[in-house]
Amino acid sequence: MLYYIIQHKMGFQGFGLFAFCINYIFGAGVLSIPYSFLHGGLIGSGITLIVSSSLSLVTALWLFEIQARAQALKKRESEDNDNNDDCFRITETSQIEISEMCLLFIGNRARVIYDLSISVFVLSSAWMYASISAMSLVDTIPILTKTNTKNETYSCDISSHSGLLWSLPERRCYYDYLIYLLLFSVVQAYLISIGMKRLQSLQQLLTVVGLIALATMIVTVLVAMKEEGLAIDKFDAKVVVFDVNGYGACFSTFVFAQLCHMGVPALTQLVTGEDKMIMYKVLIVTICTTTTLYLILGFACALFFGKNDTDAHKGLEKVISLNWIDYTGKKSQFNKSFFASIISYFIRLYPVITCGSAFPLYCITIGNSWYRSVHVKSETVRIPDQVGEGDDSIALTEPLMRTTQGREENRMSFLKNIPLSGFQFIGCFFPVIAASQMADISFMLLMVGYAGFVIAFFIPIALQIKSKAVCGQIFGRSKTVYDSRISRSDFIYSALIFGICATVLSTITVFL
């Protein structure tokens, strides 16, 4: 049904764009959703997820409006924008990244803040992807660590280790982890080398496999829930409605789990033809799909596995797929069926699929950003320091010419000799090194959460407000073909309030 809606209602490009959006969004966020639901409280987490996802979608859709205004502003020297078309629209003439939109509308300091946030977010996310992939492989297909002294299946449980990995009590677990981390980095380096365009078919395949794995997780949990009951029925487990101590940490997870803003300009340019509204619709379908899956998975897994204070291995794991290690279907634990074994391995390897598909996208994204930053060239867009007269005048950001002039000459010369692929490989190198030292998912989620608040809320809000003001003063209009009810001021204030509350509550949780 979902394939029919995207492929036939939005054209042949629809599913390809949907695949890229899904892989940008899913990553490791989906694996931590049930854990956040359980520790933040079911009702509180459910409501927060819906609000967070809705506002993330709103701010992502604003980027279509902002990009259209930015293109009109850059073209006004060479084209007459006061034509019969009353609305700005995105064209195929050029791709304007969010950092450039920041430079045009809210100044160089905002661009620096955005670039730093993107670097922290992408590197921390890639670090998490590498760690989760290696951990999943260690617990699914161990090499040096196969059984314990009782000849039972042994779980290294690296995800629960909050310190440096070399201090793990079981050294063989660490060696297995390093072996798989090296294998993961080699595969990802190859995927990065073949480029974004050649990854399209692979991204579509991984999207289908990932959605099947996610659906399998949901179905098996619901079936097991019917057969065995809830966690509170099976053992002394806790399922809370609202937990003030863990609620603040949910914001980081939920924002991270729906973040695709940095990829919107590039994804928009993948649409052939002038009708960029296809990408607009695909983004709405994608966020609605992920939100629905997150809600079902979060509620079902939290209710079935629960929180066990006496034995953590009987409760919900930080990485949800690890709960399928002992999956037996309807058989007893000592009589696991062949079909159940296939499901167990498939779901435990799901993190490798979802993280492996997102990792090259993130490394390519950060590599491209670093390359453009080093090779930035002077560009002139004559934006006046002030427009309007008297009390109606407003101060604008300093002209782009004044901001970028001479930056290229001040760069260290050796960086200019590094090719684009070199920066992309560097973006792959740092996360792998970090993953070899620590695999604390909670710490990584905190880092990506803070950066995510800036990327998903504060920067789009500032761009939306200032781009409307600038274009309204210069062109006498600011409306785009992408404007809708969500372009109103009340949505802007709602997103701002939510972003501030999320940042404050996440900070408070750190010190509790």
How far apart CA 407 and CA 405 sit, in angstroms, is 6
Mean pLDDT of 99-112: 88
Residue 284 clears pLDDT 50, i.e. is over it:
yes
Q: List residues bridging with 153 in a β-sheet.
A: 147
3-state secondary structure of 290: helix
How far apart CA 130 and CA 20 sit, in angstroms, is 19
Extract the tokens encoding 401: 């010419």
* HEC letters along 465-492: HHHHHHHHHHCCCCCECCCCHHHCHHHH
Mean pLDDT of 85-107: 79
pLDDT confidence tier of residue 4, bands split at 50, 70 and 90: very low
3-state secondary structure of 150: coil
> pLDDT tens-digit profile of 380-429?
455 555 444 444 334 444 444 434 434 444 445 667 788 888 888 988 89
Closest-CA residue to 359 (of 169, 197, 138, 131): 131
Query: Considering the chain, what is the average pLDDT of its residues?
Result: 79
Extract the tokens encoding 43: 């009702």
Largest CA-CA distance found in the chain, in angstroms, rounded: 84
DSSP string across 26-38: -TTHHHHHHHHHH
Q: Name the range with the highest mean pLDDT among 9-13, 118-122, 197-201, 207-211.
A: 118-122
Q: List residues bridging with 387 in a β-sheet.
A: 394
Give per-residue burial for 161-199: e unless 16+ CB within 10 Å, then b: beeebeebeeebbbebbbebbeebbeebbebbeeebeeb
pTM above 0.85, yes or no: no
Predicted confidence at residue 64, as pLDDT, reads 92
Contact 281, 10 (CB under 8 A): yes
pLDDT confidence tier of residue 272, bands split at 50, 70 and 90: low
Give per-residue burial for 231-253: e unless 16+ CB within 10 Å, then b: beeeeebebbeebeebbbbbbbb
**How many CB atoms are located within 10 Å of the residue 23 CB?**
27
Residue 397 DSSP symbol:
P
